[in-house]
Amino acid sequence: MAGNQVYINSTSSFFPNEPVANDDMELYLGYIDNKPSKSKKIVLRNNGIVNRYYALDKNHKSTHTNAEMTAQAVRALFKKDPAEIKTVELLSCGTSSPDQMIPSHGVMAHGQLPEMKGIEVVSPAGVCCAGMHALKYAYLAIKSGEVHKAVATGSERFSGLLVADVFEDEVQKLKDLNENPYIAFQKDFLRWMLSDGASAFLMTDKPNENGLSLRVEWVEGISYANEIETCMYMGGDKQADGTLKGFMDYTPEEIMTKSIFSIKQDITLLSDNIVKLGGEKIKEIFERKGLTAADIDHFLPHISSNFFKSKIYDLVEEYGGGIPYEKWFINLYTVGNVGAASVYLMIDELFNNGTLKKGEKILLLVPESARFSYMYALLTVC
């Protein structure tokens, strides 16, 4: 595709409050039915996460909105020259956990940035791929010459959906019906996976005059929703026939007692498909672009759990010739799964840790289990 070159010239991150260790998680999220979770230790053992961040205090009250965290990350891009923020022409913000359904997350983040001028704002939705969709919109806008300078962001504030209060009405309803009171594993296990935070990229059509930049070579995606039913969902519930019933078709009482707005995941569907489908597109991209695993210097796969690390390794081995672990860069273990922000957070840490060298290639892989979508990108250090 002809057009302008596109560069990531600056990256930033914002995390709310102090990191939360495994033993302290329920101090912030609370105990469901006043009992410690039975699944917590199992999930943490598999996912390998030791720290995460919550926009909560120990009274389970919010300390930051998603829009506020996003604005903080954007502002951090311009800490050396705050006036430069007025030269941004586009703000592209991806998230799966907006503070409200309307207005959009992007314009709410823009509203937290009065020092910006009036600009175009877009808000890609989805789950983990939303951040990559935001990146691609900014990339295409610059490449086409529509704008010269854009900011792309990925952010999440999951913690408000993970606190015990979200599940208490459902637990009480089960007790009233004399049923075994428990929260289904598909709802409970995500409580021990997810984290809050925001990250931002400053993107332009010219590289930095001093220091490194990341040239965006291409960004591609694919959805398999035409083939496979819903796996991860929120604001609805999955029916026996595999269809999804949205919140507007539930009564207010059902919304409360069925925890319709909790995040849920079909674990069996996830394990059977998430890795396999991601590999099929890697093979096609590598063949079409004449790439081999040997061309990749840094591999940044977004994984929700350490459980998938070896499976992705085997997948790349099968479809792409294999990328050894010494080329991998993952910070899941120290920041948690931050959904749409995760790939941004990996790039931010790698970009600023002093290890990158000009000419190196960085391959990004972001899977999204919601309806099995995937995003891929290649960056060159320059």
Q: Where residue 134 falls among pLDDT bands split at 50, 70, 90?
A: very high
**Nearest in space to 65 (alpha carbons), one of 137, 14, 118:** 14
**CA-CA-CA-CA torsion for 302, 5, 72, 76, nearest 10 degrees?**
110
Instruction: Taking residues 184-203, report their average pLDDT.
Output: 84
Sign, CA dihedral 257-235-372-133, equals negative
Phi and psi of 156, rounded to 5°? -150, 145
* Cβ-based neighbours of 95, under 8 Å, separated by 6 or more: 66, 70, 105, 123, 125, 130, 131, 154, 155, 156, 339, 340, 341
Instruction: Taking residues 244-248, report their average pLDDT.
Output: 96
Do the Cβ atoms of 153 and 134 come closer than 8 Å?
yes
Neighbours of 116 (CB within 10 A): 21
- The token duo for 49 is 């996460």
Do the Cβ atoms of 199 and 71 come closer than 8 Å?
no
What residues are paired with 299 via a beta bridge?
328, 363
Q: Pick the residue with more confidence: 137 or 305?
A: 137
Instruction: Taking residues 150-158, report their average pLDDT.
Output: 98
* Cβ-based neighbours of 355, under 8 Å, separated by 6 or more: none
Helix axes 309-320, 267-289, angle to 10 degrees: 30
Fold of 1-224+266-382: Peroxisomal Thiolase; Chain A, domain 1 (3.40.47)
The Cα 333–Cα 330 span in angstroms is 8
Report the residue count for the chain.
Answer: 382
The Cα 203–Cα 143 span in angstroms is 11
Would you say residue 147 has pLDDT above 70? yes
Poorest-pLDDT segment among 32-36, 63-67, 186-190, 362-366:
186-190
- The token duo for 52 is 């995460």
What are 74-89's pLDDT values in tens digits?
A: 999 999 999 999 999 9
Q: Where residue 221 falls among pLDDT bands split at 50, 70, 90?
A: very high
Q: Where residue 320 falls among pLDDT bands split at 50, 70, 90?
A: low
Residue 175 pLDDT: 55
Would you say residue 118 has pLDDT above 90? yes
**Nearest in space to 230 (alpha carbons), one of 270, 289, 179, 172:** 270
Tell me whether strands 197-204 and 7-14 are parallel, antiparallel or unpaired: antiparallel
**Entry pTM:** 0.93
Would you say residue 181 has pLDDT above 80? no
Amino acid present at 281: K
> Distance of CA 296 to CAs 79, 172, 286, 322, Å?
32, 53, 11, 10
> How far separated are the first and last CA of the chain, in Å rounded?
20
Spell out the domain ranges in the chain: 1-224+266-382
